[in-house]
Chains A and B, each alone.
Chain A
Amino acid sequence: EDQVTQSPEALRLQEGESSSLNCSYTVSGLRGLFWYRQDPGKGPEFLFTLYSAGEEKEKERLKATLTKKESFLHITAPKPEDSATYLCAVRGGSNYKLTFGKGTLLTVNP
């Protein structure tokens, strides 16, 4: 069974204070690791898909990296509008579904 563990559960940063979120996973035949952003009361918003170890993707202040066991979402010089819950999910080789972690609640204070 695919499993995803995200840490920390919550992270509070000052504006401009860079940090990283962790996503550890176990999956049989990784078909993709997905990062989503979710604002309160809304559906998850797609950020990145990573497919193989060593792959990196960037979008504005966010950069996602992937190894064989974990993924990191690096946030550089965050702003208050980056505050949200960040979700990590994996899709295994034999499944149609995404298996999600519980998310990291990021708060960026001005």
Chain B
Amino acid sequence: SQTIHQWPATLVQPVGSPLSLECTVEGTSNPNLYWYRQAAGRGLQLLFYSVGIGQISSEVPQNLSASRPQDRQFILSSKKLLLSDSGFYLCAWRKGDDTNYGYTFGSGTRLTVV
């Protein structure tokens, strides 16, 4: 069966520090991968998605970036965190060859920038 792993679960970082969040999927190949952010009182906002290794599409211009160095690995990064980067970050995957397949989410990372 397929599983998605996301870490760390919680993170407290000072303003201006770098960020690296990692997400991996097991039990499938060539998944579509997504990074969402959920802020208090707001819906889930898509940040990045990837349909293949090295292929990244950005939905929202900001100081975050994403990379996909391997087929089932998706990384969210920042060189310098802002207070506004605080939120709940969720990784999700979907079968790449089935456009009607549901999206499965990871357990999330609670990021607090102080």
Are B99 and A31 touching (Cβ within 8 A)?
A: yes
Are B102 and A43 touching (Cβ within 8 A)?
A: no
Are B43 and A4 touching (Cβ within 8 A)?
A: yes
Count of A residues near B, CB < 8 Å?
23
Cα(A61)–Cα(B59), bound, Å: 36
Are B106 and A103 touching (Cβ within 8 A)?
A: no
Are B108 and A43 touching (Cβ within 8 A)?
A: yes
Is the C-beta of B107 less than 8 angstroms from some C-beta in chain A?
Answer: yes
Contact with A along B92-109 (1 / 0, CB 8 A): 100000011011111110
Which range holds the interface residue count of chain B? 20 to 34
Are B100 and A43 touching (Cβ within 8 A)?
A: no
> Which of A51, A96, A100, A101 has most chain B Cβ within 10 Å?
A96
Cα(A42)–Cα(B105), bound, Å: 9
Are B43 and A103 touching (Cβ within 8 A)?
A: yes
Query: What's the A-B contact tally at a CB cutoff of 8 Å?
Result: 53
Are A43 and B90 touching (Cβ within 8 A)?
A: yes
Are A41 and B104 touching (Cβ within 8 A)?
A: no
Is the C-beta of B41 less than 8 angstroms from some C-beta in chain A?
Answer: yes
* Interface of B, helix, strand, loop or mixed by DSSP: strand
List residues of A (25-59) whose CB comes within 8 Å of B's CBs. Answer: 31-32, 34, 36, 41-46, 49, 51
Cα(A49)–Cα(B99), bound, Å: 12
Is the C-beta of B86 less than 8 angstroms from some C-beta in chain A?
Answer: no
Contact with A along B29-58 (1 / 0, CB 8 A): 000101010000111101001010000010
Binding site for B on A (CB under 8 A): 4, 31-32, 34, 36, 41-46, 49, 51, 87, 89, 96-103
Binding site for A on B (CB under 8 A): 6, 32, 34, 36, 41-44, 46, 49, 51, 57, 59, 90, 92, 99-100, 102-108, 110
